[in-house]
Amino acid sequence: MKGVNLLLELTEGARADAEARRAELSYEALEERARAARQPIDVAAALAHDPGHTHVIAEIKRSSPSKGALAEITDPAALASEYAAGGASCISVLTESRRFGGSLDDLRAVRARVDVPLLRKDFISDEYQLLEARDAGADMVLLIVAVLQPERLRELHAFALDLGLSALVEVHDPSEIEHALAADARILGVNTRDLKTFEMHPERFAQLRSQIPAGVVAVAESGVSQLADVERYRADGADAVLIGEALVRDGEPQKRVREFGAVR
């Protein structure tokens, strides 16, 4: 249960950090500011199946619990510009600080530089975090089924939609897909990393893809290190692929995004 416990630890830590920020800026003040912010982009439409190419969600990620430090990334906005120039359909910005080295300031900096849709990737369990995402310029947020009770998932998903945000709902098994669809998820991300062992199981995407209905965007998460990995996910029915480590460690991120996106 090491991985599951870590996921809970990350979720609790992210919520505690949000509570600390809430002590500085009230829920009411943040909501007023968030609802006055720019209107988010409909990311489900932006990631809809395209027979001509694979949508790439390019991630800004400094480190991870399983791999440790990945890249320094002193200027996340500059990296985001490279991703956008390479044709990324969406850019994921890690905002969790304790184990991933990210921040909401990263998200704000990226938003100021690029116009493509942005995902706030964090461990969200509270409405305040959704308000923060909208206020900082996100178009989409991550909701992880494994750490949210079904009713809580529905509440957070509904509130995200009320704010104009899209939600990438992450699943790992058939029952989680059922919960995600019951919450009216329009974008499902299948994480092929085992939560207990951190081992990769890329075949999991193909096993679960058939349970994702037509009209729901299917995103393959984790396990991409080379072009063949994207080709495999695409052949298995992925509309989009989320890629982090392979891009932040590459010296030519713009070129790599373009290559990955050219997969049909």
Which amino acid, 10?
L
Which amino acid, 230?
V
Displacement of CA 6 from its chain's centroid (Å): 18
From the candidates 92, 127, 191, 245, which is the catalytic residue? 191
From the candidates 59, 96, 132, 176, which is the catalytic residue? 59
227 token code pair: 């072009």
Where are the alpha helices (H) located in the chain, listed in sequence order? 2-24, 27-35, 43-46, 76-85, 104-113, 127-136, 150-162, 174-182, 203-209, 227-235, 245-248, 253-261
| CA–CA distances in Å: residue 170 to residues 1, 109, 156, 180 | 19, 25, 13, 8
State the Rg of the chain over Cα.
17
Q: Report yes or no: 208 and 16 within 8 Å, Cβ to Cβ.
A: no
Residue 61 a catalytic site member: yes
Residue 170 a catalytic site member: yes
Residue 72 a catalytic site member: no
From the candidates 63, 64, 92, 121, which is the catalytic residue? 121
Count Cβ atoms within 10 A of the Cβ of residue 25 and give its class: 0-12 exposed, 13-18 middle, 19 or more buried.
middle
The sign of the torsion formed by the CA atoms of 153, 58, 111, 17 equals positive
From the candidates 61, 63, 89, 132, which is the catalytic residue? 61
From the candidates 64, 132, 222, 245, which is the catalytic residue? 222
From the candidates 82, 127, 132, 170, which is the catalytic residue? 170
Angle between helices 127-136 and 150-162 (to 10 degrees): 30
From the candidates 2, 221, 231, 255, which is the catalytic residue? 221
Residues with a catalytic annotation lie at 59, 61, 121, 170, 191, 221-222
